[in-house]
Amino acid sequence: MEKNSSLTWKEKITKYLKNYFKNLNLPLYITFILVAIGLFLLDYFTKAWAYDNLSSTEVVDFIPGFLSFVLVGNKGAAFGSFSGLSYVLVPLSAIASLALLFWLLFHFSHKELTLNIGVVLMFSGAAGNLVDRIGYWAQSGRYVDGVIDFLKFTFWPSFPVCNIADYCLTIGIVVLVVGVILKYVKASKRDKQIEEVQSTTFSEEQKREDIDMTSKLAALENKEENPDDSQENPE
């Protein structure tokens, strides 16, 4: 314990990374990273397609009665919230993207798949919209009108027009919350099992101590009632 506490922060990081990659499920790890990259690219290229082929004045039916395409510039966050606050949204999106990327790269665990799925979805969504927000902040190229949204559910007219990144974020948050709840439930069950084992062990030890004490008391009472037979009687 003292030896570990004397390590420098660089040595601690090096030790952590060695143990981390040594115990890593590499195929699953690479799969999750590729999925994250794939979702990011899917969001990027569908936005580029939407900007080049759609109009803000014409709704194109993709699945009649269910899904349509229409070009909308979103100057805020997901689903149009916090409009016009790019100076806040860009730093927050960047911090969130880096934090999620750090988790995915250096805190991945095959034992927490639900959490990792949530992180992958959230990272892809956050990074996808971050590109648009930086472009809008710089007033560059296709991003002059804000984040590119184009997915419209025609069966729900009041639902905001959005993009793939928005859905990655939304679904990712839900999955992450479910993962946290499952992790808490699992930890609670494990703690309960440990308490039961400790309680059982304590009960068995206490039972043995009680038996020993009862035997000693019985022997003492017997000795008081019957003097030692080895004592010689006077003639």
Catalytic residue set: 149, 166
- Spatial distance between the Cα atoms of 76 and 80, rounded to a whole number of angstroms: 5
- Spatial distance between the Cα atoms of 220 and 148, rounded to a whole number of angstroms: 90
- Judged on CB neighbours under 10 Å (0-12, 13-18, 19+), 190 is exposed
Q: What phi and psi values does residue 152 have, to the nearest 5 degrees?
A: -130, 125
CB 147 within 8 A of CB 127: no
- Spatial distance between the Cα atoms of 199 and 202, rounded to a whole number of angstroms: 5
- Spatial distance between the Cα atoms of 126 and 152, rounded to a whole number of angstroms: 20
The first and second tokens of residue 77, run together, are 């966050």
For the chain, where are the E strands, in sequence order? Answer: 60-63, 67-74, 147-153
Q: Identity (one letter) of the amino acid at 7?
A: L
* CA distances for 100 relative to 68, 118, 169, 184, 208, angstroms: 31, 10, 12, 20, 53
- Spatial distance between the Cα atoms of 189 and 97, rounded to a whole number of angstroms: 33
* H helices, E strands: number in the chain: 6, 3
